[in-house]
Amino acid sequence: MARPLAGWNPLDWSLIHGPVPYALLVLGFGALCGLALSTGAHWWGRWLPCAVVLAALLTLLVVHAVDDWWKPFPDALPRTVTVWIGVALLGLCLAGFRMPPLTWGGRAGALLAAVLVLLMAANQVNRHYVQYPSLRAMLAPETQDLTTGTDARTVTVPPGRTLSEVWQPPAGLPARGTLSAVTIPGTRSGFTARDGYVYLPPAYQASPRPLLPVVVLMAGQPGGPTDWINSGGMPEVLDSFAAAHRGLAPVVVVADPLGSSLNNTLCMDSRIAMAQTYLSVDVPDWIHGHLQTGTGRTRWSVGGSSFGGTCALQLALNAPQVYGSFLDVSGQAEPTLGSHAQTVAKAFGGDEAAFDAVDPAHLMDRGRFPDTAGLFLVGAGDAEFGPQQEKMYAAATRAGVRATFETVPGGHDWGTFRAALVRYLPWVARQTGLTR
């Protein structure tokens, strides 16, 4: 996470905490007040009320268009986000009504004020989601070529022991892991995914090579694989874990279950896309073909946040032969396109039985999963997804899943998701035989 003023590079200054967001608030509200104030009688009696009413109507139109018409994601816009959209539109409306009688210099000033209001509102939305902790998080991640090929010598782990108990790190082991951008084709599924990422911990570079466990990680919707790198700080979190475990950490593959930021595949094989086949067949096949890792379901885990958490639960139940454990961070009680009826109609042509056959709640209601371990995590302040997580945790427990439920500080945002990843790593290390 970016610190308030991490050095002198503005790219690393925190947009979430410290002086920068508060400076934007002061400048933005100052600009908004400047746009709203005028000495003209017509302004107070006519143009200011018109600007306020127009901004309110436009805000309602945006909310209606997003939540009821476009529906790019199943959840409604949060109230806080709606308020800041309204503030941004008010700034634009005020500037628009102020400009006609002004000189060119005055118009430039009004435009600058509107830009400051937009920057303030945009960063407040960013603070709500903790999406970009710094300007650097908006840039493409720094990557390097993927380490491919196999090592003829591997670390042998006797029965009853963990990898960390027999691992002897060689001299000169790198202090950090590597991050590579990769293309994982939908060979069997036909699914067109965006590029993913592979994190290889320092121990992966050693010879003999330890056969490390695998974690397949997914972000939410809207979103993409880059979110776990920039917003979730995945490489830094994994490097910290590796530093505390003599270079050992899971191999992490960040996969794309969506195809585009606003697409919703439901993480299912349906009329929309063959997303489940992609994540349970194509992605594992690619990993086996390009990386030298541990094998067997007990060495493989799948996890994600929000949509990605729901997807992880679905994969663990629908493809238990691949994934022996899962992380569900702030997931939903049911995969959805907005409503149950809409989901079944669009994805399965109205066939309720086809939906029930892959829906996690129905799977756990009629089946037993004693060989699967699951970690449910949610922000303590997440009033919407917290109850849903509790419901799915209870269902998993009844189905025999070796389930754990935990909360972390925060709401439904990337601060929570990053904290959840920190909690998940020691848990999954125990589940996959990396540590005791």
pLDDT of residue 54 exceeding 70, the answer is yes
pLDDT of residue 11 exceeding 70, the answer is yes
Cβ neighbourhood burial of 144 (10 Å; 0-12, 13-18, 19+)? exposed
Question: How far, in Å, CA of 123 to CA of 126, rounded?
Answer: 5
Q: Is 306 helix (H, G, I), strand (E, B) or coil?
A: coil
Q: Which stretch of 134-138, 253-257, 383-387 has the lowest confidence by average pLDDT?
A: 134-138
Element (H, E) at 379: strand 373-379
pLDDT of residue 101: 87
pLDDT of residue 348: 97
pLDDT of residue 414 exceeding 70, the answer is yes
pLDDT of residue 7: 59
For the chain, what percentages of helix, strand and coil (3-state, to nearest 5) are there? 50, 10, 40
Phi, psi torsion values for 234, nearest 5 degrees: -55, -45
Average pLDDT, the chain: 94
Phi, psi torsion values for 302, nearest 5 degrees: -130, 140
pLDDT of residue 261: 87
> Treating both helix axes as pointing N-terminal to C-terminal, what angle do 79-98 and 48-64 enclose, rounded to 10 degrees?
140
Question: How far, in Å, CA of 261 to CA of 266, rounded?
Answer: 13
Q: Is 133 helix (H, G, I), strand (E, B) or coil?
A: coil
Q: How confident is the model at residue 41 (pLDDT cuts 50, 70, 90)?
A: confident
Q: For residue range 70-108, what is the model confidence (pLDDT) as tens digits? A: 877 767 889 999 999 999 999 999 999 999 888 999 999
Nearest residue to 218 via CA among 177, 190, 271, 259: 259
Average pLDDT over residues 174-184: 97
Structural domains in the chain plus CATH codes: 10-129 (no CATH), 157-431 (3.40.50.1820)
Q: Is 396 helix (H, G, I), strand (E, B) or coil?
A: helix
Amino acid identity of 380? A
The DSSP-derived string for 58-88 is HHHHHHHIIIIII-SSSSPPPHHHHHHHHHH
Question: How far, in Å, CA of 312 to CA of 318, rounded?
Answer: 10
Amino acid identity of 394? A
User: Which residues does 230 contact at the CB level (< 8 Å), separation at least 6?
Assistant: 132, 136, 137, 138, 139, 141
Average pLDDT over residues 282-310: 97
Q: Write out the E strands in 59-174.
A: none
User: For residues 379 and 410, is the Cβ–Cβ distance under 8 A?
Assistant: yes
pLDDT of residue 1: 53
Average pLDDT over residues 393-413: 97
User: For residues 419 and 408, is the Cβ–Cβ distance under 8 A?
Assistant: yes
User: Which residues does 86 contact at the CB level (< 8 Å), separation at least 6?
Assistant: 55, 56, 59
pLDDT of residue 136: 87
pLDDT of residue 5: 61
Take residue 203 and report the two structure tokens written for it: 């121990």
Q: Is 32 helix (H, G, I), strand (E, B) or coil?
A: helix
Longest Cα separation, the chain: 86
Q: How confident is the model at residue 391 (pLDDT cuts 50, 70, 90)?
A: very high
Average pLDDT over residues 31-48: 86
Average pLDDT over residues 236-248: 98
C-alpha distance from residue 295 to each of 161, 211, 215, 372 (Å): 16, 8, 12, 16
pLDDT of residue 3: 57
> In this structure, what DSSP letter does residue 195 have?
P
pLDDT of residue 180 exceeding 90, the answer is yes
pLDDT of residue 44: 86
pLDDT of residue 42 exceeding 90, the answer is no
Q: Is the whole-model pTM more than 0.75?
A: yes
Cα 425–428–430 angle (5° rounding)?
Answer: 110
pLDDT of residue 236 exceeding 90, the answer is yes
C-alpha distance from residue 106 to each of 36, 164, 262, 379 (Å): 14, 67, 39, 46
Alpha-carbon Rg for the chain in angstroms: 24
